[in-house]
Structure 1
Amino acid sequence: MTSGITFDRLPELAAQFHLCFRSGHIYLEGQRMVLLHTGALGALRRELVDTLGLDRTRGVLTRMGYASGKRDAEMARELLPRASDEDLMNLGPQLHSLEGIAHVTPIRFDIDVAGGRYSGEFLWEDSFEAAVHLEAFGPYHDAVCWMQLGYATGYTTAIMGKSVIFREVDCRGKGDTNCRIVGKPVEDWGEEITEELQYFEPENVAEQLVALQDQVEHLRYSIDEQTNLGDMVGVSPAFRETGEIIRKAA
């Protein structure tokens, strides 16, 4: 069944926000939340890019968004235990808007959880993530709403009970007017999403760093062995100075 998104539950969702000033807690439907400045999130993105590079940063933020979307889907099922597939999918964009991520406008979506069928297309207006990326790095050649893509993928995958992947086909971060995403099950994408799938797989950066360190040490020992003075032995200052010059030159 093809359906449109309504925002009739926004007042009900907003009523689930509870601010506890004494304890310093913010709750949404019993789930603890935090408020962060977008400037702080932009600084975090820059720090991650400087430390890990763009590609690994994309993976970290995509998986972070995925976990958030999955948790919101679980919350939606608790909030609407008897909801239809359409109602549950309606709730995701409303949560996205309520949490200040972006204003979501539906273009189309078709969902049948029992039949394993899904396709959707949504417009994101005023995406916070595109804004912080532009502020930190300027225009990029590719889409940059990595957390939001992870969120949409995590939310829809949890609702469907099967992997549904979204791609950002338009993005303000690369000069488009607004951001637009398209989603469908992994098997329906085929080889088109080979690159996207890697960002949902965690990388063990620590192991890679240890391996690189081992390679550097091995290379250092190899250079030392190749630059010794063989069987020559000398103790005079001139001999030792010449040997040192040879090693440095090598």
Structure 2
Amino acid sequence: MEVTVHDKSITNEQKNEKRTITSPATSLGILRKQLAAHIGIERIGGFLFQYGWEMGVAGGKKSENSDKTLEELVIEGPLLHIKSGQITGIDHTCDITYNQDGEFSTLFGRGEWIGSYEVEQHLRFIGESDKPICHTLSGYASGFMSTVFDKPLLAKELTCIGAGDEQCKWVIKPQEEWEEDVEHDVEILNKTPIVKELEATYDNLVDQKQIVTKLSDFQKQLTKEVVNGQGLQTLANIAFTTIGLPVIIEGLNFEKLSSAGLSDEELKFIKSDTVDQIHYLKKQNEYPQSFREKTFHMNAYQRVVVPVLVQQEVLGYCSFIIHDVKKSNHEEIYLFLDHLSNATALILLKEKVAFESFERMKGNFLDQILDGKMEAAELLNKGRYVEIDFKQPYRLIVLDYKDEHTTLEEEFLYEEHALEATFKYFSKANIQVLAGHRKGKLVILLIESNHINPIIKEFYDYMTDKFKNHRLKIGVSNSQTGIEKAKETYEEAIIALRLAIRKQIVHFKDLGIVGILINSNNIEGIHTIAEQELKELYHMVDNKSDELFETLYFFLMNGGNLKNTSIDLSLSMSGLRHRIQKIEELLDKDLRDPDVANHLLLILKALIVLKKIDLR
């Protein structure tokens, strides 16, 4: 079969008339589905609105060429809408207002679209939405009415069957009136064409690629210098050269570790400014004790800060100083600061590990000293390697804590933290010490100085604040000369620690005759005297023996004062009197006799040191 198609010329009248292409609703549903797949469900609204708008404008221009009034055109618009097949029916009411001179002023329309093809196709190809989806219908109504009235009018769908509502209800009014309604979005009329958006997206991707490349190169430079053993100043110089902003790397108290791009005067001013700002924020309860990132807004500049984290502990801060805020992108600055902070953390971690390794080596050396198996000459010789002159007078400090741990792992963790805190304290105080653990206690060899007692007190306060859940006690030896006597000096600190019952810090020199007695190793003699003087109380093995020893000790320590003893023991006065009477009966002694009291107190202290009784 032969089919012939003859080309026919188009008349001038046909040329002036825009062509109309009809297509089934299903094809528009497929188009909708593809748009959602390629540009995203959130973006198809603007695209379809513009599509409907153009159709509405075309219909409006065609209608406005007629002799019909505005009221008649308002009626014709919905009829054209139905004729296009987009809806099957409409319920429409429109109020038009004119000025005194008869010119159009404003309009308010509302109604319901019946049989929306968009609802049908959206539910078929995409599914139910969480917001109205009749975008082409809104666009058509907006375009038609804006063209007819020569004024930007915007139709907005308020409820939609496609979003689970019972009806597709809409409202149309001037665009500026929508702008006053914060509940509705009017940007849809001003949507950037997709091609333009793609161009902008491409430009943005190019910019992002440049930033990522720059950030990657920055990280490589930092890593290379860290691997090569360079210090913090090198990192600061690289950051300043790369970013072009002044940089500061500081310690935990904002003391400068390194900087670039700032004079000493500027650094001094910035530190003062920052400290004042922090004090102010603390007063306002707005300053975070630990923060991931923060921007301090000063009068003439901004300071962008990121902490340096090592093993989940803040060891310092990295900052960029911004003078021209408008030209700076804080998000990018934070990215570069994060990399600088990580590189700084590696250097500080390296220094921390080296420092702690050295301190632990010194702790092992302390163990050897306390074992007493090395000659004095060898000790003096090795002392040079740990930077301590053993020819100087020294003291030994033993720190113990009330064991609140439930597992060996928790106890080990505490010991590690306690040792680390000790290193930090004495390093910051610029005091050379040997420190380590021995028999579950922290032992410190400290070179004697004129301010030894305040130093020990400050160290106790520091540790107490650091470990609030522990009851710490310290025993301090006498000052000693000759490192070969360290073992005996350690025993003095242990004896003092055992008598730290009412005080947190006890010096061996304050023990008087008790210290001398125990230090003379007269252990057998002490037990013999205790057995003779304490009689049945010494041999009691039931649970009441401890409370009777405790009652006797505090009664004698308080000089026989019942009120103070009652407070120390948290015991009623009648209960205390009953115990005192029982003790006097067991000992067959008058506890208010000064000679008897002093004699018994000396024996009790000796037993405490020998761990015969434990009152802590």
TM-score for both structures, normalised by structure 2: 0.32
1:230 aligns with 2:230: no
2:189 corresponds in structure 1 to: 200
Q: CA deviation at 1:31?
A: 3.0
One-letter amino acid of the counterpart of residue 57, structure 1: I
Structure-to-structure mapping, 1:37-52, within 5 angstroms: 37-52=24-39
Alignment counterpart, residue 160 of structure 2, candidates 167, 171, 176: 171
Deviation at 1:112, TM superposition (A): 4.3
Indicate the residue corresponding to 1:4 in structure 2: none
Amino acid at match of 2:41: L
Paired with 2:182 and 2:89, the residues of 1 have a C-alpha distance of: 23
Identify the residue that residue 205 of structure 2 maps to in structure 1.
Answer: 212
Residue in 2 that maps onto 1:151: 140
Runs of 5+ consecutive residues of structure 1 not aligned to the other structure: 1-21, 234-250
Q: Which amino acid aligns with 1:74?
A: K
Cα deviation digits, residues 23-61 of structure 1 (max 9, x gap): 8x9x9x943111223222122222222222223221111
Asked if structure 2 preserves the Cα contact closer than 8 Å seen for 1:85 and 1:112, the reply is no
Out of 54, 59, 67, the residue aligned to residue 67 of structure 1 is: 54
> Offset of 1:154 from its aligned partner?
0.8
Using the alignment, how far apart are the partners of 2:142 and 2:183 within structure 1? Answer: 15
Decide whether the 8 Å contact of 2:178 with 2:184 is kept in 1: no
Q: Secondary structure at the match of 2:172?
A: strand
Work out whether residues 153 and 175 of structure 2, in 8 Å CA contact, stay in contact via their aligned partners in 1: yes
- Structure 2 counterpart of 1:111: 96
Task: Name the CA distance, whole Å, in 2 between partners of 1:193 and 1:58.
Answer: 19
Bigger radius of gyration: 2
- 2 CA distance for matches of 1:120 and 1:195? 16
Q: Which moved more, 1:186-195 or 1:206-215?
A: 186-195
- How far does residue 165 in structure 1 lie from its aligned partner after superposition? 1.2
Alignment partner of 1:41: what SS? helix
DSSP 3-state at the match of 2:186? helix
Q: Equivalents in 1 of 2:43, 2:182: separation in Å?
A: 17
Give 1:169 shift. 1.3
CA distance in 2 between counterparts of 1:37 and 1:55 reads 25
Pick 1 or 2: higher relative contact order, CA cutoff 8 A, min separation 6. 1
Cα distance in structure 2, aligned partners of 1:61 and 1:150: 8
Change (3 A) 1:67 1:196: farther
Q: CA deviation at 1:96?
A: 0.5
Q: Deviations over 1:132-163 (max 9, x none)?
A: 11112211110001111011111111111111
Establish whether residue 83 from structure 1 lines up as the match of residue 76 from structure 2. Answer: no
8 Å Cα contact 1:107/1:121 also seen in 2? yes
Partners of 1:102 and 1:158 lie apart in 2 by 21
Aligned-CA RMSD value: 2.5
Q: Which amino acid aligns with 1:91?
A: E
Write the letter of the residue equivalent to 1:167.
K
Amino acid at match of 1:69: G
Q: Percent identity between the aligned chains?
A: 25
* Residues 1:41 and 1:107: Cα distance change in structure 2 (over 3 Å): closer
Q: Note if contact 2:25-2:117 (Cα within 8 Å) is conserved in structure 1.
A: yes
2:138, 2:204 → 1: CA distance? 31
TM-score when normalising by structure 1: 0.74
- State how far apart, in whole Å, the 2-side matches of 1:50 and 1:64 are: 18
The structure-2 alpha-carbon separation of the partners of 1:46 and 1:209, relative to structure 1 and needing over 3 Å to count, comes to farther
For 2:29, what is the secondary structure of its paired residue?
helix
Distance (Å, rounded) in 2 between the aligned partners of 1:156 and 1:210: 37
Q: Report deviation, 1:214.
A: 2.5
